[in-house]
């Protein structure tokens, strides 16, 4: 009877030599193999067909069953002296007859087995296609060997997951298919030139310079472990981000694929990376671990590396740094001496303090007042247990920074607590990139201490070259300092690190205005609006671009949308009346007057009111509100010089002596 079957062949490496030395020991080894392997084969539904000397022929109903059984067998025999197995698996149409299987596909399985490493498993391309969708398995392509007595063209793979050893190509190169004989007739010089060309073409784009860490899968089997999975993701991402020669995609962009059914290749293309790193969280008792698989996607998709790591919770940070070091070595990334030192010097953390920190980190991503309160509670609990553990202190500073941006509670309290926590984090551990970034933002947009801000930004980026937030804000700082060319380096880096971030795209559109690339700014702003229509910044960028291009009426639509998103619907409704009387300038005057009146009862950023009066060409009121903005250190005031150089303000205002005096008194570049 013909049947589609998975065929497994096994062989004991070195058995012939053992038999010659000690025949009795060899026979005992065969008995031990039979005793140990038969129950495993039965457990996975296999049929023990025959023993051929030291080799076994076994059949299974599917490739998955055969491969699962092969992994279990190699795990079972690894501590048995001299029972060093090679296993080959192929799937094909075979003939079952009298408890045996016959056919060309049986021969293929027997010929594949020698391509396995000792202690490893080799499979045919048919089996590989069956398992390629299973993220638990990974394999490396070896080539297409000339199999003796086999007419089919067969590709062979070495299974590299589950801790199995990978076959060394040097051990099997002689067995792989040779090039056609016609190459012998090419002149040696031409052959050498052609070989060099092949090397250059094949090598182009094959080096991994960029990577995305995909959202982790949870195989702990325990409920309520989301905080652990999220925290482990951040831990590994943070260590990988320290490698300056490797572009690591930010958490925000990577997390958009949490429940995605997109293919590996499609995700990599959208994120513009060379490889993806997948991981599964595992837990046993007081140890946690990660099962990892690195998949290269350019120029072609292939599994590069798989490994499993387990550590006690107190030594989790050792695991993250070990993984980062191992990955750098695997993809031939050269680390600086400082990076090697940073990755090698991970600290042991009290398990209870680490768990509290992870819970705090998890709630910090909730971005609501109750979540922020819980996060701070857990961070403080972590600090009470381990007062020298700097990460929760840095986390507290980030919470207050987020509260300030989201206008949760008093902005003055938020700035005070943000500064206090960031300073404490830097004092506890000067290697906290986020703490330096927060200090840089405070120096730039609150203190207006430009030298201190730049030094802190540089420190944050030096510690974590993949800190997308540090790059994007440093880029904007450089725009404020009228250094747009330098800014471009960091803005574009941020966009590469966090390509799906609408906030970044809006900031990038503002930057393009500073570069006087107004059409591109409008395009980028519209892309951000399409994704996040309720976010105000892209409308401001679009509005500013139209103004700089001398298209105020076109800019009015973006201006009204900007005010609408900010919650000023009543003002937007009245702007049409002003437009009917005096066009764009009339609409801006109505909006400015309304906001100025509302500012008597609630805090409204004075720069926004001055900006509207500037566009309504009421210069006296514009300068009045800009001076108020200077006196209270309105963060937007820091952009005054940059907006002027981007031609966002009318020419007459830029040439007014009061404008120059305002820049000088604000210590802004002219």
Query: For 513-540, how does the pLDDT look when each residue is reduced to its tens digit (9 = 90+)?
Result: 888 999 999 999 998 888 778 878 888 8
Residue 450 inside a domain? The answer is: no
Residues 39 and 153 in one domain: yes
Q: Is pLDDT at 61 greater than 60 in this prediction?
A: yes
User: Do residues 166 and 220 both lie within one domain?
Assistant: no
**Residue at a domain's end among 290, 317, 344:** 344
Q: Is 421 within a domain?
A: no
Q: Which residue range is the domain that position 260 belongs to?
A: 210-344
Instruction: Kindly state whether residues 171 and 224 are assigned to the same domain.
Output: no
Q: Is the pLDDT of residue 252 over 90?
A: no
455 in a structural domain: no
| Helical packing angle, 518-531 and 537-548, nearest 10° | 160
Instruction: Work out how many domains the chain is built from and give that number.
Output: 3
Sign of CA dihedral 95, 99, 105, 107: negative
SS3 80: coil
| Distance of alpha carbon 594 from alpha carbon 571, whole angstroms | 7
Q: Is the pLDDT of residue 117 over 60?
A: yes
What is the structure's pLDDT at 91? 87
Answer yes or no: is 525 within a domain: no
> What is the arithmetic mean of pLDDT over 292-306?
84
Do 174 and 257 lie in a common domain?
Answer: no
Is the model's pLDDT at 647 over the cut of 80? yes
pLDDT of residue 275: 92
Residue 221 lies in a domain: yes
Query: Tens digit of pLDDT for each residue in 407-457?
Result: 677 777 888 888 888 888 888 888 888 888 888 988 888 888 999 999 999
List the structure tokens of 465.
């070259």
Q: Residue 143 — left, alpha, or beta (φ > 0 → left; ψ -120 to 50 → alpha)?
A: left
Work out whether strand 85-97 and strand 2-12 pair parallel, antiparallel, or are unpaired: antiparallel
| CA distance linking residue 346 with residue 356, whole number of Å | 19
Can the peptide bond before residue 299 be classed as cis, meaning omega within 30 degrees of 0?
yes
Mean pLDDT of 321-341: 86
> Quick one: pLDDT band at residue 484, thresholds 50, 70, 90?
confident
pLDDT digits (tens, 9 = 90+) for 79-111: 888 899 999 999 887 777 666 777 777 878 888
Residue 173 is predicted with a pLDDT of: 45
pLDDT of residue 405: 65
Residue at a domain's end among 344, 370, 395? 344
Percent of the chain with pLDDT strictly greater than 90: 21
The Cα 446–Cα 111 span in angstroms is 72
Q: What was the pLDDT predicted at 345?
A: 67
Which residue in the block uniquely carries the two structure tokens 């680490």? 354
Q: Rounded CA gap, 630 and 607, in Å?
A: 8
As a three-state string, the secondary structure of 598-658 is HCCCCCCCHHHHHHHHHHCCCHHHHHHHHHHHHHCCCHHHHHHHHHHHCCCCCHHHHHCHH
Per-residue pLDDT, 178: 40
Q: Are residues 173 and 214 in the same domain?
A: no
pLDDT of residue 197: 41
Mean pLDDT of the chain: 83
- State the average pLDDT over residues 39-52: 90
Tell me how far apart the alpha carbons of residues 116 and 548 are, in angstroms, rounded to a whole number.
67
At 346 the pLDDT is: 64
Q: Specify whether the CB–CB gap between 316 and 391 falls below 8 A.
A: no
Within this chain, do residues 276 and 339 fall inside the same structural domain, yes or no?
A: yes
Which contacts of 403-409 are long-range, i.e. CB under 8 A and separated by 24 or more positions? 403/369, 403/372, 406/367, 408/369, 408/372, 409/369
Query: Which residue do the tokens 């609409």 mark?
Result: 587
C-alpha to C-alpha distance for 502 and 495, rounded to whole angstroms: 10
Q: How far apart (Å, rounded) are the C-alpha atoms in residues 568 and 594?
A: 10
DSSP state for residue 161 in the 8-state scheme: S
Q: What is the mean pLDDT of residues 349-371?
A: 81
Q: Are residues 19 and 159 in the same domain?
A: yes
User: Domain for residue 482, yes or no?
Assistant: no
Highest mean pLDDT among 46-60, 135-149, 467-481: 467-481
Q: What pLDDT is recorded for position 189?
A: 43
User: Residue 456 has what pLDDT?
Assistant: 93
Residue closest to 326 by CA, chosen among 236, 251, 231, 249: 236
Taking 60 as the threshold, does the pLDDT of residue 326 lie above it? yes
Residues 86 and 139 in one domain: yes
> Under a CB-based contact definition with an 8 Å cutoff, are residues 125 and 154 in contact?
yes
Strands 121-124 vs 85-97: parallel, antiparallel or unpaired:
parallel
Same domain assignment for residues 248 and 161: no
For residues 376 and 536, the model is more confident at 376
User: Do residues 274 and 164 share a domain?
Assistant: no
- Which of 75, 85, 72 lies closest to 33, judged by CA? 85
Please give the full DSSP string across 367-396, using - where no structure is assigned: -SHHHHHHHHHHHHHHHHH-TT-HHHHHHH
Q: What is the mean pLDDT of residues 44-64?
A: 88
The DSSP code sequence of 118-156 is TT-EEEEHHHHHHHTT-TT--EEEEE-B--TT--S---E
Nearest in space to 614 (alpha carbons), one of 662, 554, 664:
662
pLDDT, tens only, 473-482 = 999 899 999 9
The predicted model gives 177-186 an average pLDDT of 37
Confidence at 194, pLDDT banded by 50, 70, 90 = very low
| Contact by Cβ (8 Å): 353, 347 | no
In angstroms, rounded to a whole number, what is the distance separating the alpha carbons of residues 50 and 207? 46
Distances (CA, A) of 51 to 105, 107, 321: 18, 15, 46
**Token pair 């590994």 in the structure block, residue:** 236
Is 371:364 a contact under the CB 8 Å cutoff?
yes
Based on the fold, state whether residues 9 and 84 are members of the same structural domain.
yes
Q: Which of 173-187, 204-218, 545-559 has the highest mean pLDDT?
A: 545-559
185 vs 637, residue with greater confidence: 637
CA–CA separation, 508 vs 610, rounded Å?
24
Q: Give the model's pLDDT for residue 169.
A: 60
Is 143 inside any structural domain? Answer: yes
CATH of the domain at 300: 3.40.50.10070
What is the rounded distance in angstroms from the CA atom of residue 110 to the CA atom of residue 56? 10
Q: Are 99 and 57 in contact (CB under 8 A)?
A: no
**Residue 392, in any domain of the structure:** no
CATH of the domain at 83: 3.30.70.1230
Mean pLDDT confidence for 30-50: 91
**pLDDT for 109:** 82
What is the pLDDT confidence band of residue 659, given thresholds at 50, 70 and 90?
very high
DSSP letter (8 states) at residue 61: S
Instruction: Assign 200 to helix, strand or coil.
Output: helix
Residue 184 has pLDDT above 70, yes or no: no
Query: Which residue among 178, 198, 232 closes a domain?
Result: 178
Stretch 646-670: mean pLDDT: 88
What's the confidence (pLDDT) of residue 136? Answer: 78
Same domain assignment for residues 163 and 241:
no
């Amino acid at each position: 009877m013909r049947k589609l079957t998975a065929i497994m062949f096994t062989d004991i490496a070195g058995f012939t030599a053992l038999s010659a030395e000690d025949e009795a020991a060899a026979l005992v080894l065969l008995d031990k193999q039979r005793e140990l392997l038969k129950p495993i084969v039965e457990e996975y539904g296999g049929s023990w067909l025959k023993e051929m000397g030291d080799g076994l022929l076994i059949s299974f109903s599917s490739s998955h069953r055969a491969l699962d059984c092969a992994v279990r067998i190699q795990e079972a025999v690894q501590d048995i002296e001299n029972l060093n197995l090679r296993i080959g698996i192929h799937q094909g149409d075979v003939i079952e007859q009298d408890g045996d299987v016959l056919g060309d596909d049986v021969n293929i399985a027997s010929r594949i087995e020698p391509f396995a490493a000792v202690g490893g498993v080799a499979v045919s391309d048919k089996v590989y296609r069956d398992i390629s969708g299973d993220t638990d398995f990974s394999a490396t392509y070896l080539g297409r060997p000339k199999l003796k007595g086999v007419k089919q063209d067969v590709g062979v793979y070495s299974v590299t997951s589950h801790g199995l050893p990978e076959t060394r190509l040097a051990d099997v190169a002689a067995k792989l298919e040779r090039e056609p004989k016609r190459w012998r007739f090419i002149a040696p010089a031409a052959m050498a030139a052609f070989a060099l060309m092949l090397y250059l073409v094949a090598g182009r784009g094959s080096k991994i310079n960029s990577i995305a860490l995909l959202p982790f899968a949870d195989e702990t089997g325990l409920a309520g472990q989301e905080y652990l999975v999220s925290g482990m993701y951040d831990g590994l991402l943070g260590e990988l981000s320290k490698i300056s020669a490797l572009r690591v995609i930010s958490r925000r962009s990577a997390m958009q694929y949490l429940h995605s059914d997109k293919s590996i290749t499609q995700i990599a293309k959208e994120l513009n990376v060379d490889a993806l790193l997948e991981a599964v969280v595992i837990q046993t008792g007081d140890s946690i671990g990660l099962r990892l698989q690195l998949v290269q996607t350019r120029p072609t998709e292939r599994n590069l590396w798989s490994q499993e790591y387990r550590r006690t919770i107190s030594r989790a940070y050792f695991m993250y740094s070990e993984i980062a070091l191992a990955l750098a070595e695997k993809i031939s990334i050269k680390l600086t001496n400082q990076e090697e030192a940073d990755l090698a010097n991970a600290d042991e953390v009290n398990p209870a303090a680490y768990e509290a920190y992870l819970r705090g980190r998890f709630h910090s991503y909730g971005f609501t007042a109750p979540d922020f309160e819980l996060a701070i509670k857990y961070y403080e609990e972590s600090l009470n247990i381990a007062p020298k553990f700097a990460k929760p202190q840095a986390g507290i500073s980030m919470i207050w920074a987020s509260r300030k941006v989201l206008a949760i509670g008093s902005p003055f309290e938020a700035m005070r607590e943000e500064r206090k926590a960031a300073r404490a984090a830097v004092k506890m551990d000067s290697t906290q990139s986020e703490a330096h970034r927060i200090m840089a933002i405070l120096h730039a947009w609150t203190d207006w201490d430009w030298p201190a801000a730049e030094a802190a930004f540089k420190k944050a980026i030096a510690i974590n070259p993949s800190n997308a937030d540090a790059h994007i804000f440093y880029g904007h700082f450089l725009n404020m300092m009228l250094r747009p060319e330098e800014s471009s380096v960091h803005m574009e880096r941020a966009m590469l690190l966090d390509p799906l971030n609408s906030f970044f795209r809006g900031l990038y559109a503002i930057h393009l205005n500073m570069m006087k690339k107004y059409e591109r700014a409008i395009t980028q702003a519209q892309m951000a609006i399409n994704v996040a229509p309720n976010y105000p910044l892209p409308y401001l960028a679009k509005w500013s671009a139209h103004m700089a291009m001398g298209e105020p009426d076109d800019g009015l639509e973006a201006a009204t949308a900007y005010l609408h998103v900010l919650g000023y619907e009543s003002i937007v409704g009245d702007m049409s009346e002003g437009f009917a009387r005096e066009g764009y300038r009339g609409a801006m005057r109505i909006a400015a007057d309304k906001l100025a009146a509302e500012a008597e009862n609630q805090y409204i950023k004075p720069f926004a009111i001055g900006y509207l009066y500037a566009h309504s060409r009421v210069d006296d009121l514009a300068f009045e509100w800009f001076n108020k903005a200077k006196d209270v250190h309105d963060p937007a005031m820091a952009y005054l010089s940059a907006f002027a150089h981007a031609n966002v303000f009318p020419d007459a205002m830029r040439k007014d002596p009061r404008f120059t005096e305002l820049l000088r008194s604000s210590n802004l570049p002219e």
